[in-house]
Amino acid sequence: MKYYVNFQASVAILLLIYSIGNLTPGAFSKKARIDVMKNNANGYEAMRWINNNLNDDEQIFSSHRSLGLLNNKSYSLIFLNYLKKKDTNFTDFLDYLKKIMLKRLLYLMVLNPI
């Protein structure tokens, strides 16, 4: 048991050292931050493109999970994965859309894995 704990602690320390070495350079300059984010943040480049092409007051639907990287008000479509399979008329989805449409959303971003 003692060896297992020591092994687990050693692995955790190695992962911590690797993470610090990999992510810390992003704290020193804007260019380094962008490089670190491109290499490590899922969806960073897509969200950066949206930030550069939409005004901050525009709203967007997105199926991507990295909504925190957006400057815009955004609404997730991830819940579509959890709709009841017996809801063949999409009533849950349509109710959600009715509420959201009052907010005048003009954009939709859907990423499809290749």
Residue 57: per-residue pLDDT: 85
The tens digit of pLDDT for each residue in 66-86 reads 888 989 888 887 777 776 666
Residue given tokens 């709709």 in the structure block? 83
Residues 110 and 58 occupy one common structural domain: yes
Count the domains in the chain.
2
Verdict on whether the full-model pTM lies above 0.95 = no
What would the two tokens of residue 59 be?
């709203």
Q: Any bridge partners for residue 59, and if so which?
A: 73
Residue 29: per-residue pLDDT: 93
The tens digit of pLDDT for each residue in 19-54 reads 999 999 999 999 999 999 999 988 899 899 989 998
Q: Name the phi and psi angles at 35, rounded to 5.
A: -65, -45
Residues 99 and 59 occupy one common structural domain: yes
Residues 11 and 63 occupy one common structural domain: no
Does the pLDDT at position 114 exceed 50? Answer: no
Q: How far apart are CA 52 and CA 73, in angstroms?
A: 14
Whole-angstrom CA distances from 1 to 6, 67, 72, 99 are 9, 42, 50, 55
Instruction: Give the range of the structural domain holding residue 6, as residue numbers without chain letter.
Output: 1-40
Q: Using CB atoms within 10 A of its CB, is residue 61 exposed (0-12), middle (13-18) or buried (19+)?
A: middle
Residues 34 and 74 occupy one common structural domain: no
